Structure 1
């Protein structure tokens, strides 16, 4: 069906799938609030976020609390400052606020992803909802664990949406906010520089520095904020070693991490991928045995090849179309997901945009064989992701089921980028 590009809208009680979405949000919110109200309290990161917000309100040290010699709060100061005010109202209102943020981010992610596919078609309600259904386990993790990755995804999509609307400074500020909350979105900056998005790049750099150094200062004090930033940086960025990195040594090399860094090290060094479970017998998957420094050089080489492959795949500016731009951003989100040093299960929520773009290609391409092939690729990728469910052994995640699914999705996007229908139009800057 042809029509105008969809825009952000409120859910409607007249739309059955919108009602289903709201019902899912209520169920996921209940998963957070019911244990807090009727049981022993919600676990995971909720209590940590609440503690950090309270530390800001009470003037305490954000990095004072440690478990077995590692920091409990491993984020930079800005998110704690941003969440301080909601914690003033108590745990239940605070947890509810986080759930509302996740629900809003989920809706924004779905609507923007469907609006940014470059297909110039309005999807049917079921097609628009399909990426959300396909990634529901990742969404559950965001609510259940109290992780901000869904909110970060919405911010990144908003950033590119504003850039496409001719407001790069606003777009760059969205990237900056995501980076100030959880640093791995900074991976978008090299892309912005390569594509010569100078205004967005400058906005991101300036806004990131302002959020890290200026925004917390009136609350924490300039000197104290600088000291806490240094503590965080040394602990999270400057702590890499053979044992691990980022204050989570037992997780970084284990099966829970499917980043390019972790997968490469597990394949080239004899690492027990059950490091996070001392009760489990050690298991290894390395095909060669090299020293730690050599493994890091292999990571650099692999990452460099992936980066060069991305540069080769994307078209020159004069050949860009709305379709190719959507596919390019889909590949970029795939790469940002696995480029993060720690890519646990819930990080793959960022595959929402790549999946949406490919589903639009599978639904609207005028070549029957291409539609069939694209749906098959999506099906294989989803089957690989299903292997992360707890009913399957961790062996599959150790060998990178989600990483392989990400590679397949990126490969499908590259194919479509280089085999677009002849009717594709030039992107108007």
Structure 2
């Protein structure tokens, strides 16, 4: 159905109100020194004042505790100029960046939906369905919005033929959060060698230059050894299941594969479920979790292996949405504020409702129902402890992957005569 002026104005007003609310919410929490902005500000301010990261890697170590031990040491160095402004100016800039990134992401996803539906109603529905995760990302004031925007900016640059720029955006996303590194094999499978090279160069530059400038080469090397030992050689590589970790790593709030499996199988887990179908030792939990995560990554590579030139815009967007879901499922810490990375998948499934292919319409509804049930499960700590949100993401990934596969040979046409989608079959030849 075509847009009416009233519908467009209503959507614009809703987006404007949402962005204004996110700005005020983000700024106030940052100004008051609340997490997670406070963690970034604490470490960045320490870098600005002392030329080094806090000495104690334990985040509970007070002023001497490093709040960002999971992040590359270059992240705090990149944020040091922001911290140099002082808390209130830094909070203003931080909130503005959050709003800019969310606005860019909504604009991109709105275009996807307008292409499929021919009106702005899809974006309104996306906002309503995504409001819980948008709120949570704004409340935690982390890097969730910037990473989502960078992922979509990389795709937009690829679609515009700006491959080096696409790689730079993705390289920045990886430097900030590491999980977007899942997009690197995707670039290789798409045979975007320029974008892949640019991403690696950007990552190398952003991981080294800010750290060397802020800490000096010797201290930068020390910080990177500390980071490696804490993460790759420590409990982070085993799923963060050590019983001495803070509760938000262990309880229902963490929906990662390793943590859900530990609550289901490890008898000594401090937040174990009353019913445990299996009994595994911590080492076995880590091994099984790593195997399951590897299986998810292999499935992703199999689903997105078709070359870029064989794809129309809609399946390309479906693939980047699947990358976003895989980032979530593969994360050793899966909290609700990361779920904004699933919004591209929700947008794809909303767009499927406009398809004339009955199979895609059914898959779209299955995915949306899974999302809705996952949002309802958010209200139940026992359901989340059992992995309700993880199951939601796995089901959505399966639905999205099945849609990518079945649409390859489909001759379906989208409603209104627009290109089939959001997943179009490949062009002949």
Q: Is the 8 A contact 1:213 1:226 kept in 2?
A: no
Give the match for residue 207 of structure 1. Answer: 202
Offset of 1:94 from its aligned partner?
1.2
Q: Is the 8 A contact 2:265 2:278 kept in 1?
A: yes
Give the match for residue 266 of structure 1. Answer: 263
Offset of 1:35 from its aligned partner?
6.2
> Residue 219 and residue 418 in structure 1: after superposition, are their counterparts in 2 closer, same or farther (change >3 A)?
closer
Give the match for residue 358 of structure 1. Answer: 349
Offset of 1:128 from its aligned partner?
1.9
**Residue 43 in 1 paired to residue 34 in 2?**
yes
Q: Is the 8 A contact 1:239 1:245 kept in 2?
A: no
Q: Is the 8 A contact 2:30 2:37 kept in 1?
A: no
Alignment equivalent of 2:46, drawn from 55, 65, 76: 55
Alignment equivalent of 1:84, drawn from 80, 93, 96: 80
In structure 2, distance between residues paired with 1:259 and 1:407: 11
User: What is the 5 A alignment of 1:276-315?
Assistant: 283-314=273-304
**Residue 405 in 1 paired to residue 396 in 2?**
no
CA RMSD of the aligned region, Å? 3.1
Offset of 1:135 from its aligned partner?
1.6
Offset of 1:339 from its aligned partner?
0.4
Offset of 1:182 from its aligned partner?
1.8
**Residue 395 in 1 paired to residue 390 in 2?**
no
Question: How far does the alpha carbon of each residue in 1:184-240 deviate from its partner, in whole angstroms, 9 at most, with x for none?
Answer: 222222333344332222222221111111233223322222222222222233212
**Residue 224 in 1 paired to residue 219 in 2?**
yes
Q: Is the 8 A contact 1:77 1:229 kept in 2?
A: yes
User: What is the 5 A alignment of 1:233-272?
Assistant: 233-240=228-235, 244=241, 248=245, 250-272=247-269
Q: Which moved more, 1:174-183 or 1:217-226?
A: 217-226
Offset of 1:68 from its aligned partner?
4.4
In structure 2, distance between residues paired with 1:156 and 1:47: 25
Bigger fraction of residues in helix? 2
In structure 2, distance between residues paired with 1:246 and 1:83: 32
What is the TM-score with the length of structure 2 in the denominator? Answer: 0.83
Q: Which moved more, 1:52-61 or 1:167-176?
A: 52-61
Offset of 1:344 from its aligned partner?
0.9
Alignment equivalent of 1:64, drawn from 37, 55, 62: 55
Q: Is the 8 A contact 1:323 1:417 kept in 2?
A: no
Question: How far does the alpha carbon of each residue in 1:392-420 deviate from its partner, in whole angstroms, 9 at most, with x for none?
Answer: 3x111111121121122222223322333
Q: Is the 8 A contact 2:304 2:319 kept in 1?
A: yes
Give the match for residue 10 of structure 1. Answer: none
> Residue 242 and residue 29 in structure 1: after superposition, are their counterparts in 2 closer, same or farther (change >3 A)?
closer
Alignment equivalent of 1:338, drawn from 329, 334, 341: 329
Q: Which runs of 5+ in 1 are unaligned?
A: 4-13, 275-281
Give the match for residue 145 of structure 1. Answer: 140
Question: How far does the alpha carbon of each residue in 1:352-411 deviate from its partner, in whole angstroms, 9 at most, with x for none?
Answer: 10000110111x21246753662354134212222213xx3x111111121121122222
Give the match for residue 96 of structure 1. Answer: 92
Q: Is the 8 A contact 2:157 2:165 kept in 1?
A: yes
Question: How far does the alpha carbon of each residue in 1:320-375 deviate from its partner, in whole angstroms, 9 at most, with x for none?
Answer: 3333222222222111111011111111111110000110111x212467536623
> Residue 385 and residue 285 in structure 1: after superposition, are their counterparts in 2 closer, same or farther (change >3 A)?
farther
**Residue 163 in 1 paired to residue 158 in 2?**
yes
Give the match for residue 7 of structure 1. Answer: none
Q: Is the 8 A contact 2:168 2:198 kept in 1?
A: yes
Give the match for residue 421 of structure 2. Answer: none
Give the number of aligned pairs.
404
In structure 2, distance between residues paired with 1:123 and 1:106: 22
Q: Which moved more, 1:397-406 or 1:194-203?
A: 194-203
> Residue 245 and residue 184 in structure 1: after superposition, are their counterparts in 2 closer, same or farther (change >3 A)?
farther
Q: Which moved more, 1:70-79 or 1:237-246?
A: 237-246
Give the match for residue 198 of structure 1. Answer: 193
Alignment equivalent of 1:31, drawn from 18, 25, 33: 25
Q: Which runs of 5+ in 2 are unaligned?
A: 414-423
In structure 2, distance between residues paired with 1:84 and 1:304: 36
